[in-house]
């Protein structure tokens, strides 16, 4: 057996997340309607294993690498439209979408031979497109820094006895 077109059906993390969200909504609606008749031992076991994989993927996309949960279809469409004028391969666009680098080092790991293909202004432009079209949740460190900047720190005076 031979794989004719290996990159025919690549999905982004956002697409997988959206699919799992819709499947969860369908399952919740089906649970309200009542139980389905048993289809047999092998089919039930396969369905249970499939559901376990779905749970693990959903956990990864919502808890471990949760950036896709903060986006909408409009964000992804805006990203793809903005990236159209950069000469990136489909796989590179997908990797940028899935990895969502925060800085130049992360960007360089996602684009092959980036330093040969793009100048610094173009790389900065790609990072700007990522920042404007695909918002990121704040990291705990950033939240702490903002909270510290908003409230002046109290200094403790020490009594010298």
70-82: average pLDDT: 91
User: Between 43 and 69, whose confidence is greater?
Assistant: 69
Residue pLDDT, tens place only, 81-110:
999 989 999 999 999 999 999 999 999 999
Distances (CA, A) of 133 to 13, 83, 98: 16, 10, 13
Burial level of 71, CB count in 10 A (0-12/13-18/19+)? buried
Residue pLDDT, tens place only, 123-149:
999 999 999 999 887 765 555 555 555
At residue 156, the pLDDT reads 46
Q: What span, in angstroms and rounded, lies between the C-alpha atoms of 136 and 104?
A: 16
Residue pLDDT, tens place only, 29-43:
887 877 666 666 777
pLDDT over 50 at 77, yes or no: yes
Both tokens of 40, joined, read: 């047999």
Helix (H) or strand (E) holding 126: helix 120-133
């Amino acid at each position: 057996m031979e794989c004719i077109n290996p990159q025919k059906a690549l999905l982004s993390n956002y697409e997988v997340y959206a699919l799992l969200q819709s499947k969860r909504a369908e399952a919740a609606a089906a649970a309200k309607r009542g139980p389905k008749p048993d289809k047999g031992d092998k089919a039930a076991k396969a369905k249970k294993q499939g559901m376990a994989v779905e749970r693990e993927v959903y956990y990864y996309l919502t808890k471990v690498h949760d950036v896709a949960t903060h986006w909408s279809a409009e964000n992804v469409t805006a990203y793809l439209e903005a990236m159209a004028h950069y000469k990136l391969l489909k796989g590179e666009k997908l990797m940028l979408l899935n990895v969502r680098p925060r800085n130049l080092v992360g960007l360089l790991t996602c684009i092959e031979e980036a330093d040969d293909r793009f100048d610094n202004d173009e790389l900065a432009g790609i990072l700007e497109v990522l920042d404007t079209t695909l918002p990121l949740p704040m990291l705990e460190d950033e939240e702490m820094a903002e909270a510290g900047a908003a409230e002046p720190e109290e200094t403790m005076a020490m009594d010298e006895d």
